[in-house]
Amino acid sequence: MNIHPIKAFNDNYIWIIERETEAVVVDPGEAAGVLAYLDQEKLDLTAILLTHNHDDHTGGVAQILAKYSNTPVYGPEETQPLNDHVLAEGDSFELLEEKVKVFDTPGHTEGHISYLFGDALFCGDSLFSAGTGRVFTGDYQAQYDTLQKFRQLNDTVKVYPAHEYTETNLRFAQSIEPTNQAIAEALKEVRKLRAANKPTLPSTIAREKEINLLLQAETLNRFIELRKARDNF
Ligand SMILES: [Zn+2]
């Protein structure tokens, strides 16, 4: 299994999962880059996976289906009618010879879901490297509970969020914990990657446990405090 990022908008990644001549696309906010890549690599599209109902994650679906008309689209209830397979916590199925497990991961949106695809986690905007998405629902408890689910995953799971926010998240983390060595080192590394115009992703659950203060928050109150501070950073 090979996983390739397609850049979209300012800082989105649309992830393409490939095995031999088959591909699955996650959160195609726009179509052009996806269609060009599938063409160039001579890949067939097996499925589209959606994590939540925001336009920068779903905006390309119609145009992709115009070319690949019988492709199944998986997503949570909130992305209907774009998806023809509605998924929720505990669902599992097979794609590209890998087991795909579904988690409800609400907070950023009410119906946000994430996919554990083999050992790769596609978490949309529910987890970023060194951060999380904004809690647009106002339901901080839901987002906190979502983070506890991620903490229970194996340390070796690779984390593929939908945005390149790592550097800003780490600058925020450093402002909270200026003497934290793991954060200082991660920031150095990430700045190098960004200067070379390279993605800072994927991360891993082990790495997030080290550098992600929101994931580390031991209480709901601490999480709310950090999340609100990050909103204003
Ligand atoms: Zn979103």
Domains contained in the chain, CATH given: 2-231 (3.60.15.10)
Using CA atoms in the order 31, 32, 35, 36, what is the torsion angle rounded to 10 degrees?
-160
pTM over 0.95: yes
Ligand 1 centroid to residue 207 C-alpha, Å: 23
Q: Which residues surround ligand 1, an ion (CB under 5 A)?
A: 54, 125
Residue 113 buriedness (CB in 10 A; 0-12 / 13-18 / 19+): buried
Pairing of strands 2-8, 12-19: antiparallel
Using CA atoms in the order 193, 189, 56, 112, what is the torsion angle rounded to 10 degrees?
150
Dump pLDDT digits (tens) for 71-127.
Answer: 999 999 999 999 999 999 999 999 999 999 999 999 999 999 999 999 999 999 999
- Check: CB of residue 92 under 8 Å from CB of residue 100: yes
Ligand 1 centroid to residue 136 C-alpha, Å: 9
Q: Which pLDDT score, from 0 to 100, does residue 179 have?
A: 98
What's the average model confidence in pLDDT over 150-156? Answer: 98
Q: Which pLDDT score, from 0 to 100, does residue 135 have?
A: 98
Q: Which pLDDT score, from 0 to 100, does residue 213 have?
A: 98
Round to whole Å and give the CA distance between 20 and 68.
Answer: 18
Round to whole Å and give the CA distance between 53 and 18.
Answer: 24
Ligand 1 centroid to residue 35 C-alpha, Å: 22
Q: Which pLDDT score, from 0 to 100, does residue 20 have?
A: 97
Ligand 1 centroid to residue 95 C-alpha, Å: 24
- Tell me the pLDDT band of 182, cut-offs 50, 70 and 90: very high
Q: How many CB atoms lie within 10 A of CB 142?
A: 19
Ligand 1 centroid to residue 179 C-alpha, Å: 32
